[in-house]
Each structure stands twice: as structure tokens, then as C-alpha cells.
Structure 1
Amino acid sequence: MPREIAIFGVLLPTLLPLFIASLLLQGVLDWVLGHTGLYRRAWHPALVRLCLLVCIFGALIVTLYQ
């Protein structure tokens, strides 16, 4: 289980790159869902976006820390 990642001599917690990766993945998924019109069917689109981000972040954490 890696706890820290060294980038150019700076130690970063492992969760920071995972969070940035999940933000990028969620941005792509958000763009796809927005262009397909699926957000019009959601009761609260902002809540759906937040839940997607939490699910993606959780999935990345589970794959790393198994």
C-alpha cells in the first residue's frame, strides 16, 4: 500500500493524485451525460454530479488499497 508519492522530490499523499484523476474522469463523464441529455431526467443534477464524483473516487481508492 503506497502511502506517499514522490513527484519532483515533493512527497504527496496518494489520495491527492487519485482525487485529481477522479475529477478528470468525472468531468468527462459529466460532459457525456450532459450531451446525451440524461441530466434532464434527474431530479437534482448537481446531486447526481456529486454522487458520481464520490463513486469514482471510492472506486479508485478501492482498486489501489485492496
Structure 2
Amino acid sequence: MTQEIDVYGVFIPALLVWMACAFALSASLRRLFAALGFYKLIWHPPLFDLSLFVASLGCVVFILPGIAP
């Protein structure tokens, strides 16, 4: 069964909300890593950013399963 969130009659997929949360989390982590100089140790920064987003999306989906019943 697909999960959707009703926002004033507009159905939004729960995955879209989770992806927005994960994007905000990964953006803040990218900014922190850039400030710490962590990207000097990374071979391929865009690939690392993608994997950071996927990992943060997995964490958000695991931690916040009750966002859409």
C-alpha cells in the first residue's frame, strides 16, 4: 500500500517528504564536512555527496516511519 500525506486535499507521497528531510540533513552534513576540510580526503566528492544523501535517506526512513500512516 502506498503511503500518502493529505495536505489540504493534495496528496503528497511520503517518500517526497522523506527525501526533503534527507536533503536538508545531507546539505548540513556537506557544509560541516567542507568546513572541517574533510573533502580533501575524498577521491570523488560528487559520488560521496550522492552516497551521503542515500545514507541519510535510509536513516530518515528508518527513524521516521510514522510520518504517513
Which TM-score tier does this pair reach, normalised by the shorter chain?
Answer: 0.7 to 0.9
Q: Does 1:15 align with 2:28?
A: no
Cα distance, 1:62 vs. partner?
Answer: 2.4
The secondary structure found in structure 2 opposite 1:15 is: helix
Quote the Cα distance in structure 2 between the aligned partners of 1:45 and 1:27: 13
Quote the Cα distance in structure 2 between the aligned partners of 1:24 and 1:48: 16
| Structure 2 unmatched ranges of 5 or more | none
Give the aligned length.
65
Cα distance, 1:9 vs. partner?
Answer: 1.6
| Structure 1 unmatched ranges of 5 or more | none
Amino acid at match of 1:10: V
> Which segments of structure 1 move beyond 3 Å, counting only runs of 4 or more?
none
TM-score (norm. length: structure 1) = 0.87
**Bigger RCO of structures 1 and 2 (CA < 8 A, at least 6 apart):** 2
What is residue 35 of structure 2 aligned with on the other side? 35
Change (3 A) 1:60 1:2: farther
Identity level (%)? 31
